[in-house]
Structure 1
């Protein structure tokens, strides 16, 4: 592989990013077809249940009036070889008489796991795997973790001032937001990519949030409330909109037994009540994530306050951090992020693969607490199936 090959694969990766927020739980995939050093077709997986990236790229060749016969295809994930919501991409590649396929990373799913690569090779197509593999794994980190471990990917998200304050003490309307509209719009895009959004009961009592992505079109995540003492008001906007988007209230067994009538009323409003056998005053986060993972949810966004965020960090359950930083100093007018020791000061909590973007005057920093590039593709027997 040379610099030109890498350039084409990076172009495919950029295309794949366009599908984030629309294709989940499928992975985001991009594809570029090259002939005589020129791009003759490109495409990406646009929405769940729709044509895959390879199909769009082959169709793009026809739109440009160029035959893909003898061309090289660069694709960010192993082409599928099974019938799911769409037909097998491998057969479309074979029919298009593509001469060579360069794949960033293999698909560890039970229905793939190298079978697509084998099928292409058996058809006489040259196949190379591993170009920009780490970037491809990072792009679909939640997918790779879920397939490899059966556990969902957890993102902790918050907004703060430059002096580390998460909110104004005074929550009046004019002081509600720390960050600007551009940052908040990006946070809604992140929310749309996740299968569940988690907050604590204090956030519900203070803000009465909807927790749905805006604009409201498209898929909506499950809205989860950590409510160890079962204090969620029946008049909250969450419980009044369960038909619009599902709601799950996670509470302790002791609280559920002591407030059986309240549990019944919550369920009558259409919300699910998940009861965990937690000995303390808080809910069992491991139990909650196990439940969400069993429902096929690959990515969970935690938007709670200081206590909830600190709990996920302390339990070692976070995979990724996303923080929006506004150029403001709140001082005594602000609520501190984590006001308690988190770990040994000499160790700290380090982030890897840090990315920084600006949204107007705001800065967004994202980084990983777990490196998906070390996840190994499981055997067919251990791979979890994902509907595509």
Structure 2
């Protein structure tokens, strides 16, 4: 669909209205523009649909040296938060769905995740190491409120003394403060809160169904008060959109009680690039070309560079300036660069089954 299509104009509460076809799609959908379609657009409010599946496995192994974990679990595919920049959008192409609007309205929930998790932890060949929960898409996105899949996974982890790291933009994580507090007693949990912007207006269009920046600071404060280790991710850093907030985010995160902080430059893999470019021209038309040129400046003349070691930070003069600003701010506010060194695998064990007997020897 072209950017001139009336169904491509911004939708309230959604990151995009674009039904951009995935890179594996053999069909391209077009919409005739007439009076009927214009009237339909005015009342078009696509609802979230959730497809429940029985997954065949739940623990995935990571091959990237750029991320600080080897194992991960994603209870959901797609994400209702609707962040326009989300690097996971292209994964919806594997489902023959659009990485655009479908990614945030047609979701997949792995309803047997907790059962599979317990089974895989009990496998004789399993070697305990920290597991990252909710990496591709947020484990605390709105549908979790009703489905409780993430909570069930945490209950399994606590029963096995399996260390977990979480990353989220959602206040829903505070629902599980009871489990997280208990896990923290055994050094079994570490939480990362993504703070993209402290500007409510920018948040509303950039990541529409997420908690506000001030609310995320409240989340950091609540977790820290419960003695749960908290890291902040200032991510993504977008040139001429939110990069001017970097020092403010570092300062506010330190004041809220975060122990460490990191940043990630904007990543635009596959279908994310045209979706983000369209978003820029919709919301920042006077600035769009300048933003895109600066992104190419830090990506070797392209909108995205997938090379390990470069894709998270970029390279070149502008990338170096961002890095220097961040390091100075982090040092000024006494924050660490530690990631999940808080986690302890030594207590891992299988919980007793009904009928097991102990204490005979």
More helix per residue = 2
Give the number of the structure whose residues are more often strand, by fraction.
Answer: 1
What TM-score do you get using the length of structure 1 for normalisation? Answer: 0.29
